[in-house]
């Protein structure tokens, strides 16, 4: 399954870059968020590949969900797809947008890939193994290496959202000693923690499960964890939530091996 995820992510990356290198037409979804031809073409390619290979596993995907298309009951095992995470970054011609594919099993992100086609940063994860993959300019894999979270040192290195920074996030950062604050878009924030390039990624504010599942799978495979501020592991497949839509996430803190920092749930 991971091999299929990697192949589909690379193919979707080629499609995304074709649009990125041409004129980008921006439309608005019912919730007023932007969508482009790259989002839709990438999702179509990924879903066709997943459904052909695993017709018995339901798919939950961002663009289908925005049109009201989602399995009535995805069950305990399903795919989560974000065909272009960081659409605003894509529209603004920033480079850290990503393609994301994940498998959820029993509320946990078990397998995931995150591919940034513009910078060709590619990460994958399955239980017990997270990897960074080398990719050529024509989106072909040439090699891979194992990655893992690092033992955090004080002061910490923090990654934060470029487009969705909140007052709560700033307050969290002020509580801890931060050596470096790196602003980056999309699910790459999870991957920087997974690869030992950063220590913690706090997100206070609304995200959807397809935004986080693939990066979270890679982080957990690398030895990290994503938890809510009260210390509970972030779970997936959330439906019928009071005062919230299906598949919406609460605030969370993704981290490597950290202990003794105020406001950061202790590892593991």
**What pLDDT is attached to residue 115?**
97
My answer on whether 132 and 172 are in the same domain is no
My answer on whether 142 and 17 are in the same domain is yes
Residue scoring higher pLDDT (258 or 78):
78
Q: What's the pTM value of the predicted model, to 2 decimals?
A: 0.93
My answer on whether 169 and 125 are in the same domain is no
Q: What is the pLDDT of residues 109-147, one digit of tens each?
A: 999 999 999 999 999 999 999 999 999 999 999 999 999
Query: 204 lies in a domain?
Result: yes
The answer to whether residue 103 scores a pLDDT higher than 90 is: yes
> How far is residue 206 CA from its own chain's centroid?
14
Query: 267 lies in a domain?
Result: no
- The response to whether 63 counts as a known ligand-binding position is no
Q: What DSSP line would sit under 187-253, residue for residue?
A: THHHHHHHTTS-SEEEE-S-EEHHHHHHHHHHHHHTT-EEE-TTSPBP-S---S-TTS-TTEE--EE
Q: What is the pLDDT of residues 167-224, one digit of tens each?
A: 887 778 777 766 667 777 779 999 999 999 999 999 988 899 999 999 999 999 999 9
- The response to whether 95 counts as a known ligand-binding position is no
**Containing domain of residue 102, as a range?**
2-147
Where residue 165 falls among pLDDT bands split at 50, 70, 90?
low
Q: What is the dihedral of CA 194, 197, 200, 202, to 10 degrees?
A: -90
Provide the pairing of β-strand 248-249 with 207-208: antiparallel
- The angle at the Cα of 31, spanning 188 to 59, to the nearest 5 degrees, equals 60
- The response to whether 211 counts as a known ligand-binding position is yes
- The response to whether 84 counts as a known ligand-binding position is yes
- The response to whether 216 counts as a known ligand-binding position is no
Q: What is the CATH number of the domain that holds 139?
A: 3.30.540.10
């Amino acid at each position: 399954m991971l091999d299929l995820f990697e192949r589909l992510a690379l193919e979707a990356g080629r499609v995304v870059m074709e649009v990125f290198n041409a004129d980008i037409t921006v439309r608005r979804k019912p919730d007023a968020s932007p969508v482009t031809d790259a989002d839709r073409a990438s999702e179509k390619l990924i879903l066709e590949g997943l459904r052909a290979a695993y017709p018995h596993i339901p798919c939950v995907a961002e663009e289908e969900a925005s049109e009201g298309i989602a399995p009535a009951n995805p069950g305990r095992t399903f795919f989560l797809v974000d065909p272009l995470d960081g659409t605003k970054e894509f529209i603004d011609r920033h480079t850290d947008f990503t393609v994301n594919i994940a498998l959820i099993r029993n509320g946990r992100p078990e397998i995931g890939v995150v591919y940034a086609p513009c910078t060709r940063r590619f990460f994958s994860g399955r239980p017990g193994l997270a990897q960074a993959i080398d990719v050529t300019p024509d989106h072909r894999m040439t090699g891979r290496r194992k990655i893992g979270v690092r033992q955090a040192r004080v002061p910490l290195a923090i990654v934060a959202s470029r487009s969705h920074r909140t007052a709560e996030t700033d307050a969290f950062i002020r509580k801890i000693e931060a050596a470096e604050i790196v602003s980056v878009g999309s699910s790459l924030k999870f991957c920087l923690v997974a690869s030992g390039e950063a220590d913690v990624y706090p997100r206070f504010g609304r995200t959807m499960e397809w935004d986080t599942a693939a990066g979270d799978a890679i982080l957990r495979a690398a030895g990290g964890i994503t938890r809510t501020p009260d210390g509970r592991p972030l779970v997936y497949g959330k439906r019928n939530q009071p005062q919230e839509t299906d598949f919406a996430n609460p605030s969370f803190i993704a981290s490597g091996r950290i202990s003794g920092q105020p406001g950061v749930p202790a590892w593991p």
